[in-house]
Amino acid sequence: MTHSEIREKFLKFFESKGHKIVPSSSLLPTDPSVLFTTAGMQQFKPYYTGEADAMKDFGSLNTVSIQKSMRTSDIDEVGDESHLTFFEMLGNFSFGGYWKEAAIAWAHDFITRELGLKIDYVTVFEGLPSANVPADEESELLWKEVDPKIIVKRASIQDNFWGPTGSEGPCGPTTEIYVDGVEIWNIVFNEFFYPGSREELLNGKSDKNLENLKTAGIDTGMGLERLAMVVQRKKNIFETDLFEPIINSLPNHFDLRTKRVIADHSRAMVFLASEGVTPSNKEQGYVMRRLMRRIMALNISNDIIDQVINTYASRYPELLVRRNEILTVYSEELNKFNKTLRNGLNELKRLEAVDAHSAFKLYESFGLPYELIKDISKDKAKSLTREAFDEEFKKHQEKSRAGAEKKFGGHGLILDTGELKAGNEEELKKATRLHTATHLLHAALRKVLGAEVHQAGSDITPERLRFDFNFTRKLTPEEIKKIEDLANEAVKKDYKVTKEEMAYEDALRSGALAFFRLKYPPKVNVYSVGDFSKELCGGPHVSSTSEVGKIKIVKEEAVSAGVRRIRAIVE
Ligand code: SER
């Protein structure tokens, strides 16, 4: 059975049980408290908490999906037999539709009958008396009902309790299925809501308590790679048809471990690039840079990108559509890397030992990521740990944040939102006009260049606005003119600018644009300009667009791979 057949079988099976097939959500979650989508349930969080209505949105209380996911916590383990950054997760979900009995019976059916596999054993939650959560005897009985001979083991909160993801969310006990010695399916009974993070829940020191969830529901997750491994009877995930073509395309002088790292990182890079992530020193971009530079240090040609795209194009046609953008992101980062790499490697040679401090200096000055320093300097960096490196990174970030506050704070600014700066009332008025102009240009950019264009940064002074957005090529003069014209038409129409306070999730659902790299509070302000533009924003804005004046784009340039910048003024 090929991986494509496994995906299809899974979707069809649950569709036949009344589940609505829902497409994967983005790898970049709308929940600002997490960097990447790590599980299929993330896009469904509001259906468990009662903030959204599954019947209304899907026409069913049950859904099934194959979710693009990314986990970076085990990035240092990649190269062994089982760890990955990017993976796909098969999952069936219910928001008040069915409960443990059906979830267990269907899982058993799918694994044993549909796939013909033998279950070694299953685990159920042993309970947590301190939080008044009893052992999951019900699941134990239900397993015995579907197969009286099945082995059921009990497991602790570390293994058999899911969530919450991010800063709070649905969570609950799990039951897990093991085949050929590996865990392949995690079935979560989301019955609680925890108003804190998983760490707080596990360390038990917080005074927050588990609450009952509005809609108890089912959330299951089964990694496609691992499932393919057991279905295809392979010794590890890298021998499955999801990886074999990619691994086989690599030069033979690499050892197996290195080949696996390249295969994993190139998959992650291609999928991230296809969603508009570009390498940078922050958040998702920083992860991207680390993945890319590790591959680049090994002199891998960009043919690897086509290998990945070929493996996935039938399921993810957007990869083909974005092929050129992905290649551009790769070649631009490669140019940058080549420029600094040689100097960095020379510096590394000169060092007798590499500790966290010198490793961070190498990163800061030459862009050598931690993994690469470890790979190249071997014995010299024996004592270097990820924790110590991250600690240096954090110290550096705190220092530069303090520096930025001092820089702006000392000049008597009356407004400094990070995006908007003004020193007196008059400057504030001008910056406010430019701020509304920024929203108009953002909307116009998307109308002219495509809805996948999104904000990558913004900075407004009383003189000009600066707006960064993801796009991989230079804009033509005609496009610039069209964008300017559209924005100015909106000025002429004298649209009212209105503000509305909403829950973050509702704001996104209403179609308001957000800048996902920002951390938004649960309640946000949404500014609308007629039906021309709608964005999550802290303000301030003019009250109607004629106040903005004539908008003029004065410059268009590249800032980094895949990110363009326009500067504009208002007259
Ligand atoms: N949320 C659970 C997991 O990711 C089940 O989908 O393992």
pLDDT given at position 142:
98
pLDDT at position 452: 82
| Nearby residues of 184 by Cβ (< 8 Å), 6 or more positions away | 111, 177, 178, 222, 223, 226, 227, 230
Ligand 1 geometric centre to CA of 30 (Å)? 18
Ligand 1 atom closest to 165 (CA): 1
Best of 38, 186, 187, 189 for a ligand 1 pocket test (most atoms within 8 Å of beta carbon): 186
d(CA 564, CA 72): 28
The ligand 1 atom nearest the CA atom of 163: 1
pLDDT attached to residue 129: 87
Per-residue pLDDT at 414: 66
For residue 91, report the distance from its CA to the centre of ligand 1, in Å: 8
Tokens 């590996």 locate to: 182
The confidence score (pLDDT) of residue 239 equals 97
- With beta carbons less than 8 A apart as the criterion, state whether 169 and 196 touch: no
CB atoms within 10 A of CB 363: 23
Residues in the chain: 571
- Closest to 54 (Cα-Cα) out of 20, 15, 100, 98: 20
Q: Do domains 3-236 and 415-570 have the same CATH topology?
A: no
The fold for domain 415-570 equals Threonyl-tRNA Synthetase; Chain A, domain 2 (3.30.980)
In the structure encoding, which two tokens stand for residue 122, read together? 């299953």
Q: Which of 10, 22, 41 to mutate to test the pocket of ligand 1 (most atoms within 8 A of CB)?
A: 41
Q: 331-344, pLDDT tens digit by residue? A: 999 998 888 887 88
Give the residue, by CA position, lying nearest to ligand 1 atom 4.
Answer: 39
Ligand 1, atom 6: closest residue by C-alpha:
221
Question: What residues contact residue 537 under an 8 Å CB cut-off, 6+ apart?
Answer: 439, 525, 526, 527
Q: 253-276 burial, b for 16+ CB within 10 Å, e for fewer?
A: eeeeeebbbbbbbbbbbbbbbbbb
Instruction: Answer positive or negative: Cα dihedral of 223, 225, 231, 234.
Output: negative
In 3-state terms, what secondary structure has residue 318? helix
Query: Atom 7 in ligand 1: which residue has the minimum CA distance?
Result: 221
pLDDT of residue 401: 56
Determine the 3-state secondary structure of 280 from DSSP.
coil
Residues with CB under 6 A from ligand 1: 39-41, 91, 162, 186, 188, 219-221
Peptide bond into 173 cis (omega under 30): no
pLDDT value of position 404: 40
- Alpha carbon distance 229, 119 (integer Å): 14
Domain residue spans of the chain: 3-236, 243-402, 415-570
Nearest protein Cα to ligand 1, atom 3:
221
* Ligand 1 nearest atom to the CA of residue 188, by list position: 5
Q: Which CATH class is domain 3-236?
A: alpha beta
Spacing, Cα 403 to ligand 1 middle (Å): 41
Contact 177, 156 (CB under 8 A): no
Residues of the chain with pLDDT under 70: 399-414, 416, 418, 516-521
pTM given for the model: 0.71
Q: What is the largest CA-CA distance in the chain?
A: 79
* Ligand 1 pocket: which of 45, 192, 219, 225 to mutate (most atoms within 8 A of CB): 219
Contact in structure between 185 and 155 (CB atoms under 8 Å)? no
Ligand 1 centre and the CA of 170: distance in Å?
11
> Which residues are CB-neighbours of 548 under 8 A, at least 6 positions away?
433, 436, 437, 440, 491, 542, 570
Q: What angle do CA 14, 17, 20 make, to 5 degrees?
A: 60
Is 188:170 a contact under the CB 8 Å cutoff? no
Work out which ligand 1 atom sits closest to the CA atom of 91.
6
C-alpha 478 to ligand 1 mean position (Å): 48
